[in-house]
C-alpha cells in the first residue's frame, strides 16, 4: 500500500511530498481545496500525516494515491534516499521544533514513524528499550499524546541505528 512518508507545506495549498515507493514531488492542491469538503477547511497547514500514510484535516482526508496523481516529480534513487546521521538529525530537529511551536506532537510522531518503518520497528523498539511493541505503536500514533521521554527514547534509538548503519557501510 502506498503511503506518504514526508510532507512539507511550501506555498498556499502547495506541498512537497515523498512516498513510500521513492517518488518525490510537488502537489498543488488549490483546485481540490476550492470544493467541498476541503473548501470548509479554515487552515490548510493544520493537517496530520496519519499512521496509514494519508493526510488528515479532521473531517477530510487525502489518500497517498490521490496526492501522488496530483504530484509532479520523479522516483528518487535509493542511494540518494540513504539515511545519513546529518539528514536524520536535521529532520528530527525541525520536526521537534514544529511540534513544540504548534503544540502538535503528531508532527514529530510522523517523522519517527517513517524512520521506524524504514529501519524496522523491532530494531528501533529494542534499541529504545520500550517495554512492548504495542506501547511503541501507541507512542507513534497521531491520536495519542506520548510523553517526551518516549519520543526522546525513540529519537535516540533511530539516530544510533542510522549512525551504526553508516559506520558499517560508509
pLDDT tens digits, one per residue of 111-166: 898 889 888 899 999 999 998 888 888 888 878 888 889 999 999 999 999 999 88
Please report the domains of the chain, with CATH numbers, ordered by start residue.
Answer: 4-78 (3.30.2020), 82-169 (no CATH)
pTM of the model as a whole: 0.65
DSSP per-residue codes, the chain: ---EEEEEEEETTEEEEEETTSEEEEEE-TTGGGSTTGGG-S-TT--EE-TTS-EE-SS-EE-HHHHHHTEEEEEPPGGGG---HHHHHHHHHHHHHHHHHHT-HHHHHHHHHHHHHHH-HHHHHHHHT-S-HHHHHHHH-TTS---HHHHHHHHHHHHHHHHHHHHHH-
For 22-65, write each residue's pLDDT tens digit. Answer: 899 999 999 999 999 999 999 999 998 887 889 999 989 999 99
* Alpha-carbon gap, residue 131 to 163, rounded angstroms: 23
Which residue in this structure is represented by grid cell 530537529?
93
Amino acid at each position: 500500500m502506498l503511503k506518504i512518508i514526508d510532507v512539507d507545506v511550501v506555498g498556499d495549498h502547495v506541498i512537497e511530498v515523498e512516498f513510500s515507493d521513492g517518488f518525490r514531488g510537488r502537489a498543488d492542491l488549490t483546485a481540490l481545496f476550492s470544493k467541498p469538503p476541503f473548501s470548509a477547511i479554515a487552515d490548510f497547514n493544520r493537517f496530520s500525516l496519519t499512521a496509514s500514510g494519508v493526510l488528515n484535516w479532521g473531517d477530510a482526508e487525502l489518500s497517498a494515491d490521490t496526492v501522488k496523481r496530483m504530484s509532479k516529480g520523479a522516483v528518487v534513487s535509493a542511494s540518494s534516499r540513504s539515511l545519513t546521521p546529518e539528514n536524520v538529525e536535521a529532520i528530527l530537529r525541525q520536526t521537534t521544533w514544529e511540534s513544540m511551536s504548534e503544540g502538535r506532537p503528531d508532527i514529530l510522531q510522523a517523522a519517527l514513524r517513517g524512520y521506524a518503518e524504514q529501519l524496522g520497528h523491532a530494531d528501533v523498539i529494542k534499541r529504545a528499550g520500550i517495554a512492548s511493541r504495542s506501547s511503541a505503536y501507541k507512542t507513534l500514533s497521531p491520536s495519542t499524546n506520548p510523553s517526551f521521554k518516549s519520543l526522546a527514547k525513540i529519537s535516540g534509538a533511530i539516530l544510533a541505528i542510522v549512525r551504526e548503519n553508516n559506520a558499517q557501510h560508509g
